[in-house]
């Protein structure tokens, strides 16, 4: 067991954890933040994407201990003061989700994407979400949602 | 999804890391974790100890000087892809980094972790071979420099010893009138390279090829140079016909891999196609 | 006042919880004293289990129990039943954990229950199993040949069923044709890949004998029925709750072994037990789809008229017959081979065979993509042979419009309504087909490899007319129930037996009720996925939810309106027959000022003031909808592709479609279903395919090796609709969930073949990977 000090969604935590505990499992099983989903075990699907010190990472491929001392943002913290993040709002407005299982990861990937590139082309958006597999939507409305959010955020 | 048990050390310095590495049998370095953790989750790798080098700041940097570029082992693909220095000096490396996995993987995966893992379909090895990179490794008793051509030994096997830590990669500056390019044909599921080719060419003032180096990844057990193609380019003006003819030899003598994604024959064919495209792109970049 | 809510885009009501990470997926749930289940699966595709030594695992601290197949059998657990029983079907029993033989690499050998996930996983490594490997067969046709390894003593030559259907006289059609084309077509095996892996949380209360199973499932009531049979747990003490489910695509219809084991363990241990599937486990243990090998003959006249189709299909069923597996390559496939055409003579025979592979069952489209792909490839081969435009061959054969009546096919089914010919023309016009052909000719001159593909389809949805389904082998009625309950202040709850796992029923079903009752959509709450809250249900699959579940809600709502009318009559002191209900008000005909609001009637129903004592109070109604026929969506999809001549890589450059899914409740949601369907179908055409080696090992065993479609592989789709109301349900709905998948595979495959026409290529099997296309272009097949 090892000491973990971590700030998740602005709250500081301290836990004794097994070294093999993955960040995704820590968020879900220890903190009860189940908005971060686990969809594969080979780092492909992106359902587990969170922001680690501000950048999108696949939390199933990060040990909790690798995030020691870091800031983590999960989907649960995106809505602030009762207001949806523009990406959340745009996903809702544009039918950017169906079953919702990939949605947390998809939105957080888009947060990272728009931070690096506030005015992406459709092609850049499609490439930007290559690490997130959605089996429901066919991606078209996800792309539309990200475009709408980008316009809103500019 | 659940890795086997292991001991974890978070090293705060290179010397601490190599100290732990030297003391523990079956210890492995944990850089970004994007090669070793997936293998551990499937229980395909079961190291007894992981030495986390993520906290060693000096391993995460890009230093460009007159003679070349040094990239720390913990530098992420995203940092490399975003670096203006690398884009201007080493566009092939910039492109290779940009084409790895996806944004999240690039944000976390590192150049050191990737090349130490030596996946036969990883992108960097082709570039490092073609650009004549050198790897700098440290162990408790000293350090050494390993040329890329000696580094990638075989399938998932490098020249690194079990007690050595790869600390940085040094890529010499391109000679004047040089161009480099990386071209990749991805495997559609993993988006690793089915074949990836890096070409670097130097032309003399008459436009004749004075130097050519071609690195190929994905095709066989480990990345290698296409020496026959390189020789065929030397001393020639690199028009389309010359490039095609030279690229046609790129797979000669290569023992290509065969799996559910591509037969050896198709990989060999892709090697020739991607080589031609890489050379063309490299020539187009010569100033 | 909200009017005409049906047919309007309403933003989804399920989204606020899902975009904020507040969905209740099964693995998100935690109960006090919850233990964790893991399952040891066979490393061999076929092996005798000689000995299992679990002593080391049992001794590991934190391990609560280790079970084997015999432990379950001795504990009274029965094999998992087959829910579609064809005549003379041969069923090899499927025990939740293998008894003495492992028949595929997903077969469970032993199960561990431990106090945490890590211990449960680690303990698996401590179970020693002595296997005697047996010969393996993975191919559906080879399994029937002499000397092939035998899986079940019940099914000689591994033939679980032989089934045939036909209409007209196909032999005569073949004999009298101007031409006959013979072709073998392989419809490869697919892995569904709902992004949420399966999970099960069983909670048995020893004090009451009540068992609750939370699971990732598309039809909880059917699971209750099956689980009652398997466990011997009485159904009135068994609750199945499937909360938010992260996609299904058919793969979550069935009762799976893992769920049975979790329930058994919870009963044995008297504490909650959770099992969560890993993705690599999902690839082996969750059903696969498709996997047909078909030999086809098509008969035609010189003018392009198709006169006959004869098909022999080997349908791989995998190691055991999954719950609805026998339905898929029979009634959802064979009779649909006439497709949208007037082909008068069709015959199809099907061998459903067992192999040492993961069981195959319904996966998005289930039978109809196989039928459509086969037919559409053959139509294009006729066009190629006759040097006709593929559009013209379709025009020659397509069923003329039948908007106010049925079209009787030459086999079992009578199509409900449609304008197949009109939709073909609409799609060609929308695509600019004539212009695209010009562009193609120009591109070819420049050395480009460009192709255009058409897929014209009709499919079968809206299962099912119960008595018809029973006569075809259904072991459970596929009708649907609804309970519409009005609360005293006028808010409404709808309990539906349909189950949404992405389809947006909480929105569309609320639209149906709000539209009729004159309420706002927000006033209606839809409850699904809980057998203790919903009277009955058959669940969601086969694009049936609107046509059957939605129809039940419509009928129940009508009953509520009628019930309310009795109360309103007393409140208005008028005769019931003189009342009309419009815009949320009951009023006296011709006297609009004499009216009472629906919400006031609701209060009266629970708090009577004017209604006399002998009138029944309360305001709710139940309906069970049993449709008079299936529904048959149709349409035409057009795809354009460009092939890299150097590498064979296919890029889709244009995609246009027209679909008739019947009357649409929410256009935004239907369009989303079409988008998703297209991508899944294109996945089959270009990238997806499960690959086994000869030892039965799954080589495409993870997302690293099984290529799923990603965003950058697609252009923007140009979709449109043509709504022909179905006459078989009061909503006029047909079904939208699978249409895209049914159509798109053939559209893209035909486009690639069209691109390869100058190379003399007539057909290559899917997936049309870069290598296969390159080989075809270079005569290296």
pLDDT (0 to 100) of residue B287: 67
Q: Please tell us whether the domain made up of B7-52 is placed in CATH 3.30.365.10.
A: no
Q: Residue C2 — pLDDT band, cuts 50, 70, 90?
A: very low
CB contact under 8 A, B185 and C706: no
C5-34 per-position pLDDT tens digit: 999 999 999 999 999 999 999 999 999 999
As a whole number, mean pLDDT of residues A51-72 equals 98
Write b or e for each residue in C48-57: b if 16 or more Cβ atoms lie within 10 A of its Cβ, otherwise e: ebeebebeeb
Q: Are residues C367 and C449 in the same domain?
A: yes
In a domain, C21, yes or no: no
Residue C403 clears pLDDT 90, i.e. is over it: no
CA angle B198/B200/B205 to nearest 5° reads 160
Q: Does domain B66-172 have CATH number 3.30.465.10?
A: yes
Asked if the C-beta of B190 comes within 8 angstroms of chain C's C-beta atoms, the answer is: yes
Beta strands in chain B (DSSP E): 7-10, 27-30, 49-52, 62-65, 68-72, 134-139, 142-147, 152-154, 157-158, 165-172, 178-186, 193-203, 209-217, 224-225
Q: What percent of chain C has pLDDT over 70?
A: 100
Does some domain include residue C10?
Answer: no
Paired residues of B168 in beta bridges:
B72, B136
pLDDT digits (tens, 9 = 90+) for C511-553: 999 999 999 999 999 999 999 999 999 999 999 999 999 999 9
CB C419 within 8 A of CB C426: no
Three-class SS of C595-615 = EEEHHHHHHHHHCCCCCCCCC
Token readout for A117 is: 């590139």
Task: Show the 3-state SS of B248-261.
Answer: CCCCCCCCCCCECC
Is there a contact between B42 and A63 if contact means CB atoms under 8 Å apart?
A: no
Backbone angles phi, psi at B106, to 5 degrees: -65, -30
| Distance separating alpha carbons of residues A83 and A85, to the nearest angstrom | 6
Q: Does B44 touch chain A (CB under 8 A)?
A: no
Domain ranges of chain A: 2-77, 86-153
Q: Which of C625, C650, C667 is the last residue of a domain?
A: C625
Interface contact B262, partner C, CB < 8 A: yes
Kindly state the average pLDDT of the residues C632-651.
98
Per-residue pLDDT, averaged over B221-238, amounts to 97
pLDDT band (50, 70, 90) for residue A25: very high
Residue C682 lies in a domain: yes
Let me know whether C596 and C502 are in one domain. yes
Instruction: Determine whether the interchain pair B38/A42 forms a contact, defined as Cβ–Cβ distance below 8 Å.
Output: yes
Q: Is residue C519 part of a domain?
A: yes
Where in the sequence of chain B do the CATH 3.30.465.10 domains occur?
66-172
Domain harbouring C48, CATH code: 3.90.1170.50
Residues C240 and C304 in one domain: no
> Do C341 and C417 have their domain in common?
yes
Are residue C634 and residue C761 in the same domain, yes or no?
A: yes
Using an 8 Å CB-CB cutoff, list residues of chain C that contact chain B. Answer: 117-118, 121-122, 278-280, 646-647, 649, 687, 691, 699-700, 702-708, 713, 769-771, 774-775, 780
Looking at the predicted structure, is the pLDDT value of residue C757 above 60? yes
- The stretch C403-422 carries a mean pLDDT of 92
Angstrom CA distances, C419 to B5, B10, C107, C385, C398, stand at 63, 68, 47, 28, 10
CA R_g for chain A: 15
A25 to chain C: which residues are within 8 Å by CB?
A: 117
Q: Which residue, of C285, C306, C338, is where some domain finishes?
A: C285
Give C772-777 contacts, CB < 8 A, sequence gap 24+.
Answer: C772/C648, C773/C643, C773/C648, C773/C649, C773/C650, C774/B266, C774/B269, C774/C647, C774/C648, C775/B266, C775/C648, C776/C648, C777/C449, C777/C643, C777/C645, C777/C648
Q: What is the Cα–Cα distance from C455 to C753, expressed in whole angstroms?
A: 13
CATH 3.30.390.50 positions along chain B are 178-285
Q: Is B219 in CB contact (< 8 Å) with chain C?
A: no
Q: To the nearest whole number, what is the mean pLDDT of chain C?
A: 97
With an 8 Å Cβ cutoff, are B8 and A19 in contact? yes
CB distance C649 to C731 below 8 Å = no
C323 phi and psi angles, rounded to 5 deg: -55, -50
Q: CA-CA distance, C648 to C705, in Å (whole number)? A: 19
Rounded to 5 degrees, what are φ and ψ at B241? -65, -45
Question: What token pair was written down for A98?
Answer: 């169906």
- Give the H or E element holding residue C524: strand C524-528
Please give the CATH number for the structural domain made up of B178-285. 3.30.390.50
Per the CB < 8 A criterion, the answer to whether C172 and C345 are in contact is yes
Residues C78, C79, C83, CA angle at the centre, nearest 5°?
120
User: How much is the pLDDT for C176?
Assistant: 98
C145 within some domain: no
* CB nearest C279 (choices: A42, A76, A126): A42
With tokens 């599921």, the residue in question is B189
pLDDT digits (tens, 9 = 90+) for C591-628: 999 999 999 999 999 999 999 999 999 999 999 999 99
Q: Do A141 and C20 touch (CB under 8 A)?
A: no
For residue C411, give Cα distances in angstroms to B212, C165, C237, C259, C723.
68, 7, 44, 39, 26
Residues 6+ apart with CB under 8 A from C357: C45, C104, C138, C189, C288, C291, C316, C318, C319, C692, C696
Fold (topology level) of A86-153:
DNA polymerase; domain 1 (1.10.150)
Interval B107-140: pLDDT, tens: 999 999 999 999 999 999 999 999 999 999 999 9
CB C255 within 8 A of CB C223: yes
Contacting residues of A for B2, CB less than 8 Å apart: 20
- Interstrand relation of C591-597 and C585-588 (parallel, antiparallel or unpaired): antiparallel
Spell out the CATH class of A2-77: alpha beta
Distance, in Å, from the CA atom of C299 to the CA atom of C322, rounded to the nearest integer, reads: 35
How would you classify the pairing of strands C128-133 and C199-205? unpaired
Residues 6+ apart with CB under 8 A from C387: none
Separation of alpha carbons C686 and C663, rounded Å: 32
> Does C344 share its domain with C458?
yes
- In angstroms, rounded to a whole number, what is the distance separating the alpha carbons of residues C640 and C714? 12
Q: What percent of chain C has pLDDT over 90?
A: 97
Beta strands, E only, chain A: 2-8, 11-17, 49-52, 55-58, 71-73
B31-66 confidence digits (pLDDT tens): 999 999 999 999 999 999 999 999 999 999 999 999
3-state secondary structure B161-173: CCCCEEEEEEEEC
Domain of C555 in residue numbering reads as 480-625
Roughly how many angstroms between the first and final C-alpha of chain A, as a whole number? 45
A59 touches chain C (CB under 8 A): no
B104 and A109 in contact by Cβ < 8 A?
A: yes
How many domains are there within chain C?
A: 3
Are residues C535 and C254 in contact, defined by beta-carbon separation less than 8 angstroms?
Answer: no
Domain with CATH 3.30.43.10 in chain B: 7-52
Are residues C238 and C318 part of one domain? no
Q: Residue C3 domain-assigned?
A: no
Token readout for A147 is 């475009």
Residue C47 has pLDDT above 80, yes or no: yes
């Amino acid at each position: 067991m090892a000491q973990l000090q971590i700030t998740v969604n602005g709250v500081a935590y301290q836990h004794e954890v097994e070294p093999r505990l993955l960040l995704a499992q820590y968020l879900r099983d220890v903190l009860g933040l189940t908005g971060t989903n686990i969809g594969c075990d080979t780092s492909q699907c992106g359902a587990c994407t969170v922001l680690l010190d501000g950048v999108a990472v696949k939390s199933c491929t990060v040990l909790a201990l690798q995030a020691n001392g870091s800031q983590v943002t999960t989907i649960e913290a995106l809505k602030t003061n009762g207001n949806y993040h523009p990406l959340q709002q745009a996903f809702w407005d544009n039918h950017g989700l169906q079953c919702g299982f990939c949605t947390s990861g998809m939105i957080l990937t888009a947060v990272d994407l728009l931070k690096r590139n506030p005015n992406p082309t459709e092609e850049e958006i499609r490439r930007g979400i290559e690490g997130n597999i959605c089996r429901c939507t066919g991606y078209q409305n996800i792309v539309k949602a990200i475009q709408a959010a980008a316009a809103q955020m500019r | 999804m659940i890795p086997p048990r292991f001991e974890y050390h978070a090293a705060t310095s290179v010397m601490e890391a190599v100290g732990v590495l030297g003391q523990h049998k079956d210890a492995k370095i944990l850089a970004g974790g994007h090669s070793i953790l997936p293998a551990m989750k499937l229980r395909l790798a079961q190291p007894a100890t992981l030495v986390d080098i993520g906290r060693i700041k000096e391993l995460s940097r890009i230093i460009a000087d007159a003679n070349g570029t040094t990239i720390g082992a913990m530098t992420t693909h995203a940092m490399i892809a975003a670096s203006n220095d690398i884009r201007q000096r080493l566009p092939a490396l910039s492109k290779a980094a940009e084409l790895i996995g996806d944004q999240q993987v690039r944000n976390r995966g590192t150049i050191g972790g990737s090349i130490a893992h030596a996946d036969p379909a990883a992108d960097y090895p082709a570039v490092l071979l073609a650009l004549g990179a050198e790897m700098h490794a440290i162990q408790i008793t000293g350090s050494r420099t390993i040329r890329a051509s000696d580094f990638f030994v075989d399938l998932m096997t490098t020249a690194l010893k079990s007690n050595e830590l790869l600390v940085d990669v040094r890529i010499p500056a391109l000679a004047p009138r040089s161009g480099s390019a990386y071209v990749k044909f991805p495997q559609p599921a993993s988006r690793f390279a089915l074949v990836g080719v890096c070409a670097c060419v130097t032309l003399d003032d008459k436009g004749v090829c004075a130097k050519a180096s071609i690195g190929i990844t994905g095709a066989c057990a480990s990345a290698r140079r296409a020496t026959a193609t390189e020789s065929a380019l030397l001393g020639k003006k690199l028009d389309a016909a010359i490039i095609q003819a030279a690229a046609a030899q790129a797979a000669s003598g290569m023992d290509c891999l065969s799996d559910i994604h591509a037969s050896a024959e198709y990989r060999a064919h892709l090697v020739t196609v991607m080589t031609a495209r890489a050379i063309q792109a490299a020539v187009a970049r010569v100033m | 006042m909200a009017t005409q809510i049906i047919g309007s885009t309403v933003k989804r009501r399920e989204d606020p919880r899902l975009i904020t990470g507040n969905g209740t997926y099964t693995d998100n749930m935690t109960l006090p004293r919850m233990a964790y289940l893991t399952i040891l699966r066979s490393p061999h595709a076929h092996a005798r289990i000689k000995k299992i030594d679990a002593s080391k695992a049992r001794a590991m601290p934190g391990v609560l129990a280790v079970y084997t197949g015999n432990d379950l059998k001795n504990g009274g657990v029965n094999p998992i039943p087959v829910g579609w029983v064809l005549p003379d079907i041969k069923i090899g029993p499927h025990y939740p954990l293998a008894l003495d033989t492992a028949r595929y690499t997903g077969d469970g050998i032993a199960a561990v229950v431990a106090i945490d996930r890590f211990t449960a996983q680690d303990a698996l490594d401590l179970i020693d199993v002595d296997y005697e490997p047996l010969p393996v067969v993975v191919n559906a046709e080879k399994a029937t040949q002499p000397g092939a390894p035998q899986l079940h003593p019940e099914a000689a030559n591994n033939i679980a069923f032989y089934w045939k259907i036909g209409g007209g006289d196909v032999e005569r059609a073949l004999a009298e044709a101007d031409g006959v084309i013979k072709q073998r077509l392989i419809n490869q095996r697919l892995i569904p890949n709902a992004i949420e892996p399966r999970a099960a949380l069983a909670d048995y209360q020893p004090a009451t004998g009540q068992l609750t199973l939370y699971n990732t499932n598309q039809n909880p009531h059917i699971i209750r029925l099956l689980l009652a049979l398997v466990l011997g747990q009485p159904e009135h003490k068994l609750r199945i709750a499937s909360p938010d489910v992260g996609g299904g695509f058919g793969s979550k219809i069935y009762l799976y072994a893992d769920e049975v084991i979790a329930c058994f363990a919870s009963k044995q241990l008297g504490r909650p037990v959770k099992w969560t599937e890993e993705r690599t486990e999902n690839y082996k243990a969750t059903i696969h789809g498709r996997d047909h090998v078909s030999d086809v003959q098509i008969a035609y006249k010189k003018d392009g008229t198709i006169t006959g189709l004869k098909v022999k299909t080997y349908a791989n069923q995998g190691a055991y017959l999954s719950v609805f597996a026998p339905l898929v390559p029979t009634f959802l496939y064979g009779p649909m081979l006439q497709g949208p055409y007037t082909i008068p003579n069709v015959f199809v025979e099907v061998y459903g065979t067992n192999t040492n592979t993961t069981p195959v069952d319904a996966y998005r489209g289930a039978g109809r993509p196989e039928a459509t792909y086969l037919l559409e490839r053959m139509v294009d081969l006729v066009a190629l042979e006759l040097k006709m435009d593929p559009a013209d061959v379709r025009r020659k054969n397509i069923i003329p419009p039948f908007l106010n009546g049925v079209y009787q096919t030459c086999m079992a089914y009578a199509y409900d309504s449609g304008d197949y010919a009109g939709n073909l023309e609409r799609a060609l016009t929308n695509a600019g087909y004539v212009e695209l052909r010009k562009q193609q000719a120009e591109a070819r001159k420049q050395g480009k490899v460009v192709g255009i593909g058409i897929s014209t389809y009709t499919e079968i949805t809206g299962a099912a007319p119960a008595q018809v389904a029973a006569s075809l082998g259904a072991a459970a009625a596929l009708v649907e129930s609804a309970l519409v309950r009005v609360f005293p202040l006028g808010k409404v709850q709808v309990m539906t037996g349909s189950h949404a796992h992405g389809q947006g029923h909480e929105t569309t079903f609320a639209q149906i009720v709000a539209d009729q009752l004159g309420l706002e959509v927000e006033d209606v709450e839809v409850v699904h996925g809980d057998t203790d809250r919903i009277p009955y249900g058959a669940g969601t699959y086969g694009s049936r939810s609107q046509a059957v579940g939605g129809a039940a809600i419509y009928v129940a709502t009508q009953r509520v309106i009628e019930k309310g009318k009795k109360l309103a009559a007393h409140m208005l002191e008028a005769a019931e027959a003189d009342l009309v209900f419009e815009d949320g008000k009951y009023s006296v005909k011709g006297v609009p000022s004499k009216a009472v609001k629906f919400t006031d009637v609701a209060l009266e129903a629970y708090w009577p003031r004017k209604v006399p004592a002998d009138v029944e109070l309360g305001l709710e109604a139940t309906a069970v909808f049993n449709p008079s026929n299936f529904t048959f969506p149709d349409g035409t999809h057009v795809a354009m592709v460009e092939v890299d001549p150097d590498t064979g890589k296919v890029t889709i450059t244009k995609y246009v479609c027209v679909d008739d899914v019947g009357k649409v409740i929410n256009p935004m949601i239907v369009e989303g279903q079409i988008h998703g369907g297209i991508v899944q179908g294109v996945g089959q055409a270009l990238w997806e395919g499960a690959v086994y080696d000869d030892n039965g090992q799954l080589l495409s065993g993870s997302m690293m090796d099984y290529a799923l479609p990603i965003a950058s592989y697609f252009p923007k789709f140009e979709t449109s609709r043509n709504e022909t109301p179905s006459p078989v349900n009061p909503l006029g709905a047909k079904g939208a969930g699978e249409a895209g998948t049914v159509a798109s595979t053939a559209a893209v495959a035909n486009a690639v073949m069209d691109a390869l026409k100058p190379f003399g290529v007539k057909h290559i099997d899917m997936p049309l990977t870069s290598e296969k296309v390159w080989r075809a272009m270079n005569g290296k097949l």
